[in-house]
Amino acid sequence: MSSTWLITGATSGFGRLVAERALATGAHVIAVGRRRDRLADLAAAVPDNKITTIPLDITVADAEQVLADAVREVGRLDVLVNNAGYGLFGSIEETGADLARAIFETNVLANLAVLRATLPALRASRGRIVQLSSLLGQFSWPASSLYSASKGAVDLFSEGLALDLAPTGVKVTVLEPGVFGTDFAASAHIVAPNEVYTPTVGKFLTDFSALPPEAFGDPEQVADAIMAVVEMEEPPLRVAVGADAVEGIRSSLRSRLAELDRWESFSREPAVESV
């Protein structure tokens, strides 16, 4: 029996690549995305009985029910690639409440809604879950505070999810890509800094926009990683993809461990004074 996959953000970037690969293996793909035209383009190359397209903004109130109904209609679910999300870059002070709310609604709350919609079927199949985080789910850059916080939330609740699901046979992997050549940067929301934040946020944004094409990894590498971990009997909880992700996360962990060691004295019990 062929497997069934549900992929959010299937119209572009990593989601589109993984959808194409899953379809090439003979899987049935439930492809979810906001762009109806791109979903139609994806579906045009495969038989109708191998793809279910769902034009959907996963932040809308009934998204969870729509997805649950789609899974029920298809009849099973073996793999979830929870990929949809977007970027927000700017200082905390200059990012308004509406923008802050939107990044968490998309990257965190909608991610949870997708999980609630699919977990009953995934438990039944002892399936696989791939949660798309980022290298910035492990640390922050200047300008990335709220985006990093949203991806850090995905990283940590996915770890808890893996622990909760351990007896069921469902396996969870958090993918932490570095900087890759998708349309992510072009679609990200940028809050331009004022003069206070020009030396930090402004410099970072300027430097990032000046990166040459070779600084961006081949997104096929991320698709390769997703396809590989889904096939593993015991997949890793976290996978950093891209040399920049590996080195950035390693450097952050080393720095945090050094800081933990340096200030460990705060956690020691004070000496008891004799009377």
Amino acid type, 11: T
pLDDT of residue 271: 62
Amino acid type, 122: L
pLDDT of residue 272: 63
pLDDT of residue 274: 63
Tell me how long the chain is: 275
For domain 4-260, which architecture applies? Answer: 3-Layer(aba) Sandwich (3.40)
pLDDT of residue 273: 65
- Per-residue CA distances from 247 to 47, 139, 177, 230, 250 (Å): 42, 12, 12, 24, 5
Task: Indicate the pTM of the whole model.
Answer: 0.93
- Per-residue CA distances from 117 to 19, 63, 111, 145 (Å): 19, 9, 10, 29
Which of 3, 133, 134, 145 is catalytic? The answer is: 133
Residue 188, both tokens:
């990200």
Strands (E), the chain: 4-8, 28-33, 51-55, 79-82, 88-89, 128-132, 171-177, 189-190, 238-241
145 closest CA partner among 208, 210, 201: 201
Which of 134, 148, 150, 151 is catalytic? The answer is: 151
Which of 147, 148, 150, 171 is catalytic? The answer is: 147
**86 among known catalytic residues:** no
* CA 140 – CA 124 distance, rounded (Å): 37
pLDDT of residue 183: 75
Written as tens digits, the pLDDT of the chain (275 aa) is 589 999 999 999 999 999 999 999 999 999 999 999 999 999 998 877 899 999 999 999 999 999 999 999 999 999 999 999 999 999 999 999 999 999 999 999 999 999 999 999 999 999 999 999 999 999 999 999 999 999 999 999 999 999 999 999 999 999 999 999 877 777 789 999 999 999 999 999 999 988 888 889 999 999 999 999 999 999 999 999 999 999 999 999 999 999 999 999 888 776 666 66
**133 among known catalytic residues:** yes
